[in-house]
Amino acid sequence: VAAAPAPASAPALKCAPPAVVDDPHHAPRNAHPGPEQARIRAQLDALYRADDMRNYECALGWHLKKDGKPHKKSETPDIPFDWPNFAAALKVMIIAAAIVAVGWLLHRYFDAFARFGGPRLPAMATEVGGLDIRAESLPADVGAAARALWAEGRRRAALALLYRATLSRLVTEDRLAVRQGDTEGDCLRLARQAEQAGRTSRARLDVALTATTLWLEGAYADRWPDQGRMFDAIAAWEAQYGPASGARS
């Protein structure tokens, strides 16, 4: 039996040599580098391991899912919105705007608001210059009481009685709007205005002028009238007013 011929040997696989790279960092390393070369290689390895030489960044985070799928991350980073602080700031701005608006309305329509409640009568005076002008503070017969005080030498009291009785009648009978804090000059000005408006007569205005003049000259300037002038003033007062009905002695 002829021996089978021996099989031809298969061609051996050959590996191509590695491509030559111009980059010295990827060149084959010397198996036995010198001290200087070893130092340079160590520096290069440390440099390539630094984070600044990487072009990517690893980060761990949480993302909401919609329909079981994660949202696509937007290119703009998400900035959390502080709703509690925004709501508090908005509340402060609304309150400040409301205060400013109310203040402006009060300033702009003050007169209208004042008239909204209807006309209000001013508080009538109960005294002028420290003198009580209420009707109940006067004697029943003012003329007789003033003459008696004058005869007793109480000139100041007699002039004060004549003056406050005059103002009292102007307020109660002629509706003179004498207010708290008005002076003697204010009262005369109001009496003139009342006479011009026809609310009082010229004769009553003359009585007010005489009583006020005698009171100011005597009480403040120490210039007392004589008895004739005083009694003429009392007679003029009685001619216009007479005894007060309902006044007490």
Give residues with Cβ within 8 angstroms of 162, minimum separation 6: 142, 146, 211, 214, 215, 233, 234, 237
> How far is the first Cα of the chain from the last one, in angstroms, to the nearest whole number?
180
Written in H, E and C, the secondary structure of the chain is CCCCCCCCCCCCCCCCCCCCCCCHHHCCCCCCCCHHHHHHHHHHHHHHHCHHHCCCCCCCCCCCEECCEECCCCCCCCCCCCHHHHHHHHHHHHHHHHHHHHHHHHHHCHHHHHHHCCCCCCCECCEECCEECCHHHCCCCHHHHHHHHHHCCCHHHHHHHHHHHHHHHHHHCCCCCCECCCCHHHHHHHHHHHHHCCCCCHHHHHHHHHHHHHHHHHHHHCCCCCHHHHHHHHHHHHHHCCCCCCCCC
**For residue 179, is pLDDT > 50?**
yes
**Mean of the per-residue pLDDT values of the chain:** 77
Q: So what's the pLDDT on residue 33?
A: 62
pLDDT at 159: 96
pTM recorded for the entire structure: 0.50
User: 82 to each of 78, 86, 111, how far by Cα in Å?
Assistant: 13, 6, 46
User: Sign of dihedral through CA atoms 47, 49, 51, 54?
Assistant: positive
Name which residue leads in pLDDT, 87 or 123: 87
- pLDDT band for position 95 (cuts 50, 70, 90): very high
Whether residue 206 has pLDDT greater than 90: yes
Q: How confident is the model at residue 205 (pLDDT cuts 50, 70, 90)?
A: very high
| pLDDT-based confidence at residue 105 (cuts at 50, 70, 90) | confident
